[in-house]
Amino acid sequence: MRLGYLTAWLIIAMLGWLPALAQEAPYFVTYDHHLEEPGNLEIATSSTMGVPRSNQRFYFAPYAEFEYGVMGRWTSELYLEGQSTSGDSAVFTGWRWENRFRPLAREHFINPVLYVEYEGINEASRIQKEVVGNAPEFGEPNSELSQTHAHELETKLILSSNVHDWNIAENFIVEKNLSQNEGFEFGYALGFSRPLATLASSTNCRFCRENFIAGLELYGGLGSTQGFGLHDTAHYAAPVIAWQISDNASLRFSPAIGLTHESNPALLRFGYSYEVRGFGGKLAKLFGGKP
């Protein structure tokens, strides 16, 4: 009971204490062309919950993200991820290091971003940050899956446009498992989103429509060089909504619906992110450098 009060107090404190930035994209899988501001650090915690089919088990896969704006056109991000399966165990499933580069300085009708990620994960990974190749098997226990390590290199071509307050983003994914001979795996993600209001009110309101962005994501695998196509692949349609609860913090939610028999029937995703502005400068100052 006391723990419940403490949790409620912490949530209220978190929502109320932080004064409401800039609108973050509501997507969980799709990337748009907006990078982290240089020197800012975004700390986020998200989770993917897989609703199982009759012969599968429910899983909960949380992950932490540390996104840093290295330069105006370069953002770097570290992920730490885990997974817990009902009736099985909880395991640490690895880490990822991603980098996004914007080759063009100005805004264009289509804005390309190049994405490179290295993954040191194991086969128990369930965060489904991207869906590539063929649908994964969920039958084996965590004790076995976590013993199979995968060093993967993932690249994405991100194309993103802002059209009349709509963001439209397309991601084309190529992934290579360096540990096994699986060929190159392919996937895609598409996203559309729009703020619910486009004018800012003068008051610091928390529940104004301007603080909400809604949209839709579509993502899935496209097989591999060993078998390209839609056969035996997972695909999802996912409404997304983001709430900018303060200048620095936002909440996101997305209930994804599996579109093929190989997909999970549903994926529920939650995310909370907090932005530390001027982190690089503060860190430099701490070590006696020039902010």
Partner 1 sequence: MKRMLVLSALLGVMWCQNPSYEPDPGWRVPSEAAAKANPLAGKTALVGGGKKLFARNCVECHGEDGSGLEKKHSADLQLPAVQSQSDGALFWKITNGNPDRGMPSFSRLPELQRWQLVLYLRSLRTAPATLSESHDPPR
The footprint of partner 1 (CB under 8 A) covers: 20-23, 25, 34, 37-38, 71-73, 102, 105-107, 162, 164-165, 167, 195, 197-204, 209-210, 247, 277-278, 291
Contact 78, 69 (CB under 8 A): no
Q: Are 133 and 186 in contact (CB under 8 A)?
A: yes
Q: How many helices (H) does the chain have, and how many strands (E)?
A: 3, 13
Shorter beta-carbon distance to partner 1: residue 2 or 290: 290
Residue 107, CB half-sphere, CA atoms under 13 Å: how many?
A: 7
Residue among 25 and 222 whose Cβ is closer to partner 1: 25
Nearer CB in complex with partner 1: 83/246: 246
CA distance 220 to 230: 9
Shortest distance in whole angstroms from residue 290 CB to partner 1: 9
Q: Is the Cβ of residue 227 or residue 291 nearer to partner 1 in the bound state? A: 291
Q: How far is the CB of 277 from partner 1 (least distance, A)?
A: 6
The tokens for 79 are 């992920």
The three-state DSSP-derived secondary structure of 189-206 is EEEEEEECCCCCCCCCCC
Q: Shortest distance, CB of residue 19 to partner 1, whole angstroms? A: 9
User: What is the smallest separation between the CB atom of 73 and partner 1, expressed in angstroms?
Assistant: 5
Q: Which is nearer to partner 1, 88 or 247 (CB)?
A: 247
Amino acid making up residue 83: Q
- CB 127 → partner 1: shortest distance, Å? 25
| Calpha distance 228→221 (Å, rounded) | 9
To partner 1, the closest distance from the beta carbon of 164 in angstroms equals 7
Q: Which of 209, 267, 200 is nearest to 243 (CA)?
A: 209
Q: 2 or 106, CB closer to partner 1? A: 106
SS3 content of the chain, % helix, strand, coil (to 5): 10, 50, 40
Rounded to 5°, the CA angle 147-153-155 comes to 145
Q: How far is the CB of 130 from partner 1 (least distance, A)?
A: 22
3-state secondary structure of 279: helix
Nearer to partner 1, 171 or 248 (CB): 248
H runs (alpha helix) in 63-190 = 142-145
Side-chain-side CA neighbours of 123 within 13 Å: the count stands at 17
